[in-house]
A and B are shown apart, each in its own frame.
Chain A
């Protein structure tokens, strides 16, 4: 104990060295996992050889020869499997994007209503949230599809609400069609964008110089809308196409039609997800302490400034992470479309497997597609979290 180096400094034998042991353990686990994978892979190889279906992605170039109910791109049964799958992916993206937009709007409204000091509004929102959160989405979707959309009247007796027709064939609503001046109008739109960017930049510079930052985003948006509006009035680039009942036949003519499957899926997802978004929004707003608002008012900010500069930035920090995961949930939940016959990724995947027997390849492709969605979302999330992280001093 007098500063001499103790004897135990001699080398520890490797079988007792914790560091070595940990590495040995890790490699054992890795070897185990690899072995299991190899075993599964070998089994699969053997089985596929017996079925005469060795793994290959060449089948994607074969003609699909099945029809798909609705598609955003040109598709016919003589197109390839790859194109058929692409149709499914685009259909999923379509329902996911629209669903996210509408679910956010509805969710924010319900979330704010949940915080209302009006007893009836508050309880109505609470009931809405509780009911939806406690019923499985799939039950809700099938209920909604078979119990509402399929029980709508025939095309002949379609319900007409302000030019929009509701029937068992879906919902048909007025849709603008481009006229011959549309080509010119496109240039007007580009001009509007250029002007808006220029104005925004000028205001931003001005704000930097004087220290009083104007709402440059809002002003440029306003300028763009004014240019676009003047363009519409002057050039008449669109003509409204109104749907109307057919004299004979089964389909509504004109306008744009959404299929009952799409409508059921979209509205079901929106209603279900909005209940969860409402809870996220409520928690976010409640997380900003009252003192923050009072302090902002004491500093002389007005009500709008308080919201924009103090409450929103802080509430957003709480809201955004769970909100993104709700968006991701909505995208993943859109796969339940397969239960009501909307041709999304999983639906097309099932059809392709039934036709070609390429279960392994298609499963790999499908999982990769969904993983791309979720990994890109979480990459964005990480970037955003880094950006708005509290700077601690």
Chain B
């Protein structure tokens, strides 16, 4: 290698880079005159916003509305919010415990690396439990800044709630150990449980029969986060087969199937979700025989499934288009039929590539389920509006909406973070 500038003295020395905070600021904040102006403007905007919001948080806000309605936010009027009725909240806890057990088992079987994330997942319930204390410390600090001495402090959870939350972590850990110990031998069982979990949870929460431990609880008592989650999961799970069929139909060369799929997909994607929800509320009862009555939650579910299927179909189509033509040709060459090619060769690959997109769709649908509040269902948003309408908490719009906004933000941000991790773990786009 011959280099032109070999002589030491012809080379200018590298500019001295200061490795301290001032050097960093000079490089990233004040490297030109307009960047300096921008920095000052941005800092001023942040200062004004933070000062305004923080001042309101510690001086004006009436936070007692939030802890007083924890249960409403989480499960709505799920029995027994109605006085004189048996309390069935333990059925929701049972479903959550089941989820902890299955998650622990699956983690123990398949996740080999011990990462920071594992600890977060394991300690998630007590972390949620300690969030009021963390918030209190923050409130006190900000309060000091503003010279407020009697800042609002969130009440902690009861001993029973703490026991239940630690119990969740313990269950998860126990099943993790089980999964670790038996490994692949339990894999089939774990997959079955994963597939069965959702119907089982619905059965536990919805119940059956007239009386007893698992007596049916009408859907009008479902509410809060519970209803939001159920609507989202039903939407994704039930729309999945329909969406895959529609995607295959749209890719198909058969003219009738193709045009039917295209018409459905374009129609649904062309109208807003709220119009589908209204249609389901007012027209679905007309479409059914007079003796069939379906309740409002079910009607909303039908609309959400129809809606999700069209979007899911487009996502799956993206996955199908990513499969090279050679895969089809190779499958035909080894004598597989069209159906076999799809089920054994194409779909497994296509669905694997669209998993991250499906997670994003799940997140989007979780946000979209808030629309059911407009047609009168009591999901998280519907409950929030109900709480504000309560004469006891009149004028607390900002507090309640801040709470559910933060809740939605944390929830969806965590999910999209997880989906990015999943994307990396699956190696999509790398193979």
Contact = CB atoms under 8 A, between A and B. Distances in A.
A332 B368 contact: no
Interface string B262-295: 0000110111101100110011011111100000
B31 A117 contact: yes
Given A124-B42, A139-B381, A366-B275, 19 more contacts: A26-B256, A26-B257, A33-B260, A43-B287, A118-B35, A120-B43, A121-B39, A136-B368, A138-B370, A138-B374, A146-B401, A338-B374, A359-B282, A360-B286, A370-B272, A371-B267, A371-B270, A371-B271, A378-B266
**Contact residue range for chain B?**
35 or more
14 contacts: A29-B256, A119-B28, A119-B29, A130-B413, A135-B367, A135-B409, A138-B371, A142-B381, A332-B271, A335-B274, A336-B274, A338-B374, A360-B283, A363-B278
A134 B408 contact: yes
A332 B268 CA distance: 12
A139 B28 contact: no
A121 B31 CA distance: 13
A13 to B, nearest CB: 18
Contacts of A29: 256-257, 260
B340 to A, nearest CB: 14
Given A47-B286, A136-B367, A117 B267 contact: no
B145 interface: no
A231 interface: no
Nearest to A367: B271
B388 A140 contact: no
Interface string B399-427: 00110110011001100100000000000
A117 B286 contact: no
Given A43-B287, A118-B35, A370-B271, A138 B381 contact: yes
A333 B371 CA distance: 11
A335 B397 CA distance: 22
The 8 closest A-B pairs by CB, nearest first: A374-B270, A143-B401, A119-B28, A136-B367, A332-B272, A359-B282, A26-B256, A335-B272
Interface stretch (A158-166, A179-187, A221-229, A345-353): A345-353
B42 A118 contact: yes
A259 B344 CA distance: 59
Contacts of A214: none
Contacts of B381: 136, 138-139, 142
A26 B254 contact: yes
Contacts of A137: 367
B221 to A, nearest CB: 23
B414 to A, nearest CB: 9
Interface in A101-149: 116-121, 124, 130-131, 134-140, 142-143, 146-147
Residue with the highest number of chain A CB atoms closer than 10 Å, among B42, B289, B412? B42
B401 A139 contact: yes
A191 interface: no
B270 A333 contact: no
B278 A350 contact: yes
A131 B275 contact: no
Interface of A: 22, 25-27, 29-30, 33, 40, 43-44, 46-48, 50, 116-121, 124, 130-131, 134-140, 142-143, 146-147, 150-151, 332-333, 335-336, 338-339, 346, 349-350, 353, 359-360, 363, 366-367, 370-371, 373-375, 378
B17 to A, nearest CB: 16
Contacts of B272: 332-333, 335, 346, 370
B397 A143 contact: yes
A360 B257 CA distance: 27
Q: Chain B's interface: helix, strand, loop or mixed, by majority? A: helix
Contacts of A150: 397
B46 interface: yes
A142 B382 CA distance: 11
A124 B409 contact: no
Contacts of A40: 287
A46 B374 CA distance: 29
Nearest to B371: A138
Given A147-B398, A370-B270, A140 B257 contact: no
Nearest to B380: A139
A22 B412 CA distance: 44
B38 interface: yes
B286 to A, nearest CB: 5
B322 interface: no
B349 interface: no
B385 A142 contact: yes
Interface of B: 28-29, 31, 35, 38-39, 42-43, 45-46, 254-257, 260, 266-267, 269-272, 274-275, 278-279, 282-283, 285-290, 367-368, 370-371, 373-374, 381, 385, 388, 397-398, 401-402, 404-405, 408-409, 412-413, 416
A110 B367 CA distance: 23
Residue with the highest number of chain A CB atoms closer than 10 Å, among B31, B266, B374? B374
A53 to B, nearest CB: 10
A136 B388 CA distance: 18
Contacts of B416: 134
A136 B278 contact: no
Nearest to B416: A134
B274 A143 contact: no
A374 B275 CA distance: 14
Contact of B275 (A140, A142, A339, A367): A367
Given A29-B260, A43-B287, A346-B278, A139 B405 contact: yes
Contacts of B28: 117-120
Contacts of B256: 26-27, 29-30
Contacts of A22: 254
A318 to B, nearest CB: 17
A120 B43 CA distance: 7
Contacts of A136: 367-368, 370, 381, 408
Given A44-B287, A335-B275, A367-B271, A118 B39 contact: yes
A43 B397 CA distance: 44
Contacts of B266: 375, 378
Contacts of A44: 283, 286-287
Nearest to A144: B401
Nearest to B279: A363
A139 B254 contact: no
Contact of A120 (B39, B255, B271): B39
